[in-house]
Structure 1
Amino acid sequence: MKSCIIIPARKNSTRLKDKLLLKVKDKPIIAWTVENCLKVKNIDKVIVATDSQEIKEALKDYPIDIYMTPSELKSGTDRVAYVAKDLDYDFIINVQGDEPSISPEDIQKLSAEEADIITLAYPIKNEDDYINPNVVKVVLDKNNNALYFSRAMIPFYRDIDFKEMINKYQNPVLKHIGIYGYKKNILLDFAFKLSNPFIEELEKLEQLRALYHGYKIKVLLASKDTIGIDTKEDYERFCEENE
């Protein structure tokens, strides 16, 4: 099975201006993500899908393919599908450009599983993360398929507090990590055929489109947490961890 990694890299971002070009140790965020993806074994190609000549220029020395995509594409997955539709790969891994601390070994896990759609999550142990709407939560069924993703506090602890919940249940609260694996035909259906449901519009979470239309999303546990760069605080934290 031929597989590739496609990294969607839109220049404009609403919460942190030009975040993918912000530098850590004189290297832009997007380059950190690319370097981790290049370490993944058994992947045929690493590709960046961007709407920015600046991002393309920043990555010119890396052994990757870079495709220019329209700025008006609404989501990272739409950007990935725009490129993937014309490529000869059976399995596509979508690694968000703002995930510079993603583990190559965890990316590799996705291509080793048989699933239409697959993603990663990591246990939340900090109540501040649980409350934070920028940290997306996911609840699983008994087969480790996603029941729902939300920016809200799910599952909600009604009769106990956060610490009791963490101590009583094994991994009761999971943080979703922004990476997906798709069979190519499922990715193209997702991007070009499925309507956008109201839950996707409300939460601003594109993965809810798949759940709404009846697709299963397999969720694997990541070996470590990541720092997705959404805010200035995220950027500062990543800088501190890489001093």
Structure 2
Amino acid sequence: MKVIAVIPARYQASRFPGKLMQKLGSQTVIAHTYQNVLNTELFSEVIVATDSDAIQQEIESLGGKVFRSIKEHECGSDRIAESVLNTDADIVVNIQGDEPFLNEPSLSALLDVFKNDSNKEIDLASLMIPLVEQNEIQNPNNVKVIVDQNNFALYFSRSPIPFYRATNIPQLYHKHLGVYAFRKEALIHFSHSDMTPLEQAEKIECIRYLEQGKKMKMVLTDQAAIGIDTPEDLIKAQQFLNNKS
């Protein structure tokens, strides 16, 4: 089973333009993410897919491989699909450029989903972590996921889900991390399909897979999740990095 990692790295981001080229410690955010993924030694190849000269130069200065997007893309999955179209990969792992602290155990657990799926029934897998603080649960930048009893995704939302009508039972919320592992065929099929109604409403691309009837396994992790969507997130990431050193 050949596994490659692709890091979609778009320069313009609506909430924080140029965030991937912001400094985090002594390196840029995208350099941290790239080096972190490379250091896991889980992948046959690590590719950064970008539309940016600055990001391309940054990764190439580290000796990394860059795929320069030719087309305009609505979402990261489309950019990744373009970059792997002519590869012989079996599994493609999408690691967002703004997730600089993902660790080897979390990524390894994600890949185990496919190693244990002998009948090839699972189309994609992703990570989730518990959410406990009310401000984080209410924050629409945190995508929440609900799963069935076998941890297959049922739905994703920017709203707090589930809604606890009964207040005397323990409340459990999960945040979806922007990390996916795809069978290549599922990824290519996604890129050839149109945006679906619920995906369009929530602006969450993985909902399209569910609307298409794909099976998506969620893997619970205790990984420290600091996705950098806003300048405030960058401050949190810097504090986390300082505490690690």
TM-score, shorter chain, exceeding 0.5: yes
SS for the counterpart of 1:128 is helix
Question: Would the aligned equivalents of 2:36 and 2:103 in 1 still touch at CA under 8 Å?
Answer: yes
Tell me which amino acid in the other structure corresponds to 1:158. R
2:126·2:179 contact (CA, 8 Å) conserved in 1?
yes
Aligned equivalent of 1:54: 54
Aligned to 1:70: 70
Q: Taking structure 1 as reference, are residues 146 and 175 closer, same or farther at Cα in structure 2, changes over 3 Å only?
A: same
> Does residue 141 of the first structure (1) align with residue 140 of the second (2)?
no
Residue 97 of structure 1 aligns to which amino acid in structure 2? G
Tell me which residue corresponds to 1:36.
Answer: 36
1:69-148 mapped onto 2 (5 Å cutoff): 69-70=69-70, 72-114=72-114, 115-148=122-155
- 1:34 Cα offset (Å): 0.6
Instruction: Measure, in 1, the Cα distance between the counterparts of 2:56 and 2:71.
Output: 14
Matched length: 235
5+ residue gaps, structure 1 = none
Partner of 2:189: 189
Q: Name the CA shift for 1:228/1:83 in 2 (closer, same or farther; >3 Å).
A: same
Q: State the 1:71 CA deviation.
A: 6.1
* CA displacement 1:129-171 (0-9 Å, x = unmatched): 10000000000001100000000010112231xxx65xx25xx
Aligned residues of 2:59 and 2:65 also touching (Cα < 8 A): no
CA contact (8 A) 1:78 1:191 kept: yes
The aligned residue for residue 177 of structure 2 is: 177
RMSD after superposition = 1.4
Between stretches 110-119 and 20-29, larger displacement belongs to: 110-119
Unmatched 5+ stretches in structure 2: 115-121
Counterpart check, 1:207 vs 2:203: no
Residue 151 (str. 1) matches residue 158 (str. 2)? yes
Structure 1 match to 2:237: 238
Distance 1:63 1:218 in 2: 34
Output the TM-score relative to the length of structure 2.
Answer: 0.92
Q: 204-213 or 194-203: which moved more? A: 194-203
Q: Could you say which residue in structure 1 is the equivalent of 2:117?
A: none
Q: In 1, Cα distance between the equivalents of 2:198 and 2:111?
A: 28
Q: Secondary structure at the match of 1:153?
A: coil
CA–CA separation in structure 2 for the residues paired with 1:96 and 1:209: 18
